[in-house]
Amino acid sequence: MPNPSLLILAGDGIGPEVMAEVRKVIAWYADHGTAFDVSEDFVGGAAYDGYGTPLADETLAKAMAADAVLLGAVGGPKYDTLDFALKPERGLLKLRKELDLYANLRPAQCFDALADFSSLKREVVAGLDIMILRELTSGMYFGEPRGIFTEGNERVGINTHRYTESEIARAARSAFQLARQRGNKVCSMEKANVMEAGILWREVVQKIHDTEFPDVQLSHMYADNGAMQLVRAPKQFDVILTDNLFGDILSDAAAMLTGSLGMLPSASLGAAGPNGYPRAMYEPVHGSAPDIAGQGKANPIACILSFGMALRYSFALGAQADLLEAAVNKVLADGLRTADLLGPEGGTPISTSQMGDAIIAAL
């Protein structure tokens, strides 16, 4: 049997430097019996620079053929003045859409060694472990009509929020399945008090629950209250299920609760791909951080743990993923810290590549 294949799209900003550390980890696994066929290409601004488009057709074809995609980050001030259709983000959004990666898993986990980094009180966030399931291929991000139109003598900006029953149902199933492997609780968030699309969302989630997952505890919450509750008492949540736009906002708020954005990975999953593995893309929650790019300051852990999620969710290599997570925890416990993790209580400052090396050593 051939090795499963990985396509690396390092992207922009700190993407390439954190991805360099992931390559070390991939190489370590290859030396220890878990090998992948790795190829690499451009996405985002880097693809615009190289190919004149944020996602070339050839790159998309490679992504469709790959067993998993590892993405770094996209975007940067250099591309701010590009047309909407050429912006780095369009490359990322096209990948999500074309690969039909409807289930975006965003853990918000507070690492014990780093709990003091949070702007929240230690007792509010210590031990925090939420999983946000954000629907990723529909809603406001992709609904038509969209654009800037002229009406009478002025312009109007329009975007459409749109969900079919089956789109809601498949995201809900992913959330319930995840919950069964965790705390068995799902809280679904929408604005059913204001949006008809939210009423349909709530109804379908409830139906999937009642007919297929009656054993999972389900609650519903308005998204504004959800934002409040995340700030007030985040540990009340296990899995949060929400749509593309609310998920964008709420998962970022949740990530920031942990105080260590540089630590958080994400997975985006779809239906089965060519070799039976789910179509999948893994990326850190943090962005391209152009302000620190190229300075060896970036924290590669989020990107490395994203590879860990690939081991777990694409390739069912849970034990190997556990090993990687243990190595990360060991390095943190040893006090090794990239710039973003250096607080008043100290630690040993190290660079991006030293962090990668330390994790290899811990493995």
Ligand X SMILES: CC(C)[C@H](C(=O)O)[C@@H](O)C(=O)O
Among 52, 196, 276, 344, binds a second copy (CB under 8 A): 196
- Judged by CB under 8 A, does residue 279 bind a second copy? no
Structure tokens at 310: 């690939």
Structure tokens at 321: 């993923």
Helix (H) or strand (E) holding 57: helix 57-65
**Contact pattern from residue 239 through residue 268 relative to a second copy, giving x for each residue in contact according to CB under 8 A and a dash for the rest:** ------xx-xxxxxx-xxx---x-------
Structure tokens at 317: 């290599």
297 labelled binding-site residue = yes
Helix 318-333 crosses helix 301-309 at what angle (to 10 degrees)? 160
Q: Coil, strand or helix: which one is 96? A: helix
- Judged by CB under 6 A, does residue 357 bind ligand X? no
Task: Supply the minimum distance, in Å, between the C-beta of residue 87 and ligand X.
Answer: 9
Count the site residues for a second copy by CB under 8 A: 60
Among 48, 111, 201, 277, binds a second copy (CB under 8 A): 201
116 labelled binding-site residue = no
Q: Within 126-145, which residues bind a second copy (CB under 8 A)?
A: 140-141, 143
- Judged by CB under 6 A, does residue 248 bind ligand X? yes
Task: Supply the minimum distance, in Å, between the C-beta of residue 102 and ligand X.
Answer: 13
- Judged by CB under 6 A, does residue 77 bind ligand X? no
Count the site residues for ligand X by CB under 6 A: 7
Return the residue matching tokens 């789109």: 167
Evaluate whether 62 touches 98 at the Cβ level (below 8 Å).
no
Residue nearest to ligand X (CB): 89
- Judged by CB under 6 A, does residue 98 bind ligand X? no
E strand spans, 191-347: 217-222, 239-242, 265-272, 278-284, 336-337
- Judged by CB under 8 A, does residue 93 bind a second copy? yes
319 labelled binding-site residue = no
The residues annotated with a catalytic role in the active site are 141, 191, 224, 248, 252
- Judged by CB under 8 A, does residue 344 bind a second copy? no
293 labelled binding-site residue = yes
Structure tokens at 157: 């900006």
Options 25-33, 48-56, 83-91, 303-311: segment touching a second copy (CB under 8 A): 83-91
d(CA 92, CA 71): 9
Residue among 335, 100, 109 nearest 237 (CA) = 109
Q: Coil, strand or helix: which one is 5? A: strand
User: 361 contacts which partner out of a second copy, ligand X, none, CB within 5 to 8 A by kind?
Assistant: none
Q: Looking at beta carbons only, is 1 or 85 nearer to a second copy?
A: 85
d(CA 257, CA 259): 5
For 44, residues 6+ apart whose C-beta sits below 8 A from its C-beta are 9, 11, 12, 15, 54, 73, 74, 75, 79, 88, 89, 91, 92, 288
Return the residue matching tokens 């811990």: 362
Residue 341 bridge partners (DSSP): none
Q: Rule CB under 6 A: which residues touch ligand X?
A: 89, 92-93, 193-194, 224, 248
Q: Rule CB under 8 A: which residues touch a second copy?
A: 75, 84, 87, 89, 93, 119-121, 124, 140-141, 143, 146-148, 151, 154-166, 191, 193-201, 223-225, 227-228, 230-233, 245-246, 248-253, 255-257, 261
